[in-house]
Structure 1
């Protein structure tokens, strides 16, 4: 059935509760390439709990995988042509540093639906609030913007206004550049944090989708870019990392060397990421918010 905009905007989602451990936090960090240099004390704090168990910290971008509602767009009641859905942007806001282990709840809702016109698709925005299940404290807000390529032309009934405008990258030489090599098996590690889409693991599925090989998860790419900012700008002090927004421009491949260029302007780090060997811009119009 086609999209019913009023019904989609009012769609109810079950609250997701998740218990996660130090092991989950370490596995997430390994899945975005942190720990590639096991002698780097900055990286080690995200993959090793320390002798007293107090060293371990969660990467801020781990908010992307906490209390995740799954690929709900393929459920019949949505009307979405899920086979033509593209992940366009991802944004996180960190309200309180994420714990390395705990129990959280995630409440998801649709917060935007914008028609681009018949044959041009539509933008759908979903927002998830992640709270500590014990105290109710808001830990993070995750906002995802998807392009529904097969679902434009529904006319009235969508959201007012327009999707958020892209972040503008400064027209100057970057202040920092960070090259991070990614291992060939990175997508196979990242998927163990919950995104089991076979596009990132099965060569036959990737070929059927038009790719030469399984591609890296977009949110893994986001984690690699966050690592670059932590490494070059923050000296691995994630307490100053309060938010991140990225726009995906092309698939990254496991094994790519990912070059992150960064511009620091006050409390904003603008960035873009290029797959060096292929000279492909894979992430752009991105920013990290600092305190």
Structure 2
């Protein structure tokens, strides 16, 4: 069968050493909308994302894309025991947790494991976890842990082998008004800019490919929405201080088309922020973007 859990679950996907620079951090922040509002070019708070120098900070979501930031090919799907294609796959969920502030430049190694596969009957959910440590891969063991990522992909047309269905605890927003609400206007070129951060999937750039996949136009990268929402919450509830974020988890609940607006609502709850993200305005007003959003505070 196309997915063989006996081979896939627990498979070591190997390690890769990568480097990043301040320029990569700046491009990533621009890709997720930093500096896009009127006056941001003069705002010290906004310039912490977009101006290199001693005040530059790194939003933790950068850790998700840093290992593949310089890739120019569509993402590969050569997972052990999984014969699947890019057209079958959508990003299901993503989380990142950091051990401390991510440096504005450096070299690190990520080691990735395929941790689980859920059988949803007509689809499968494949989970991966990656641990990033400082420095190149050394024979005497890994360096200090910098951050950890966990993600799932939803594979259409697979499943049905009688495996575990898995479980997920939905995040319920508090029964009161949000502590923060903001709206971000996705620019027409947002996906074209964000794809320079290492995700060249043609679904986000090629109109013909998008139509063949069932969409009327290219859609925004899920991880771009992910970064936008974390940035909006950081600015709105944490004083724009990226070092106040210890982690961010979310489930991808819907698509965004360039030109639409994303409404972000956040509730401060002790050591975390619970949030929602939906489309604002237009024919798709209220449509979900991200669900089960939780920012863990440092």
SS class of match (2:12):
coil
Which residue in 2 is equivalent to 1:130? 132
Which residue in 1 is equivalent to 2:238? 234
Is 1:115 the equivalent of 2:119? yes
Structure 1 pair 10/281, CA: closer, same or farther in 2 (3 Å)? Answer: closer
Partners of 1:273 and 1:40 lie apart in 2 by 25
TM-score of the two chains, using structure 2 as the length reference: 0.89
Partners of 1:133 and 1:233 lie apart in 2 by 33
Summarize the alignment of residues 260-271 of structure 1 with structure 2, pairs less than 5 Å apart.
Answer: 260-271=264-275
Summarize the alignment of residues 80-159 of structure 1 with structure 2, pairs less than 5 Å apart.
Answer: 80-117=84-121, 120-133=122-135, 136-156=143-163
TM-score of the two chains, using structure 1 as the length reference: 0.91
Describe the superposition over 1:169-217 as per-residue Cα deviations: whole angstroms up to 9, x where unpaired: 2232211101122211111111111001011111111111111211110
Partners of 2:190 and 2:226 lie apart in 1 by 13
Partners of 1:143 and 1:80 lie apart in 2 by 20
The size of the alignment, in residue pairs, is: 283
Question: For structure 2, which runs of at least 5 residues remain unmatched after alignment?
Answer: 137-141
Partners of 2:232 and 2:255 lie apart in 1 by 18
Structure 1 pair 123/77, CA: closer, same or farther in 2 (3 Å)? Answer: closer
Partners of 2:245 and 2:216 lie apart in 1 by 35
Question: For structure 1, which runs of at least 5 residues remain unmatched after alignment?
Answer: none
Summarize the alignment of residues 240-255 of structure 1 with structure 2, pairs less than 5 Å apart.
Answer: 240-255=244-259
Per the TM alignment, residue 75 of structure 1 is displaced from its structure 2 partner at its CA by: 5.9
User: Which moved further from structure 2: 126-135 or 254-263?
Assistant: 126-135
Identify the match of residue 206 of structure 2 among 173, 177, 202.
202
Q: CA RMSD in A?
A: 1.9
Does the aligned pair in 1 maintain the 2:186–2:260 contact within 8 Å?
Answer: yes
SS class of match (1:147):
strand
Is 1:61 the equivalent of 2:61? yes
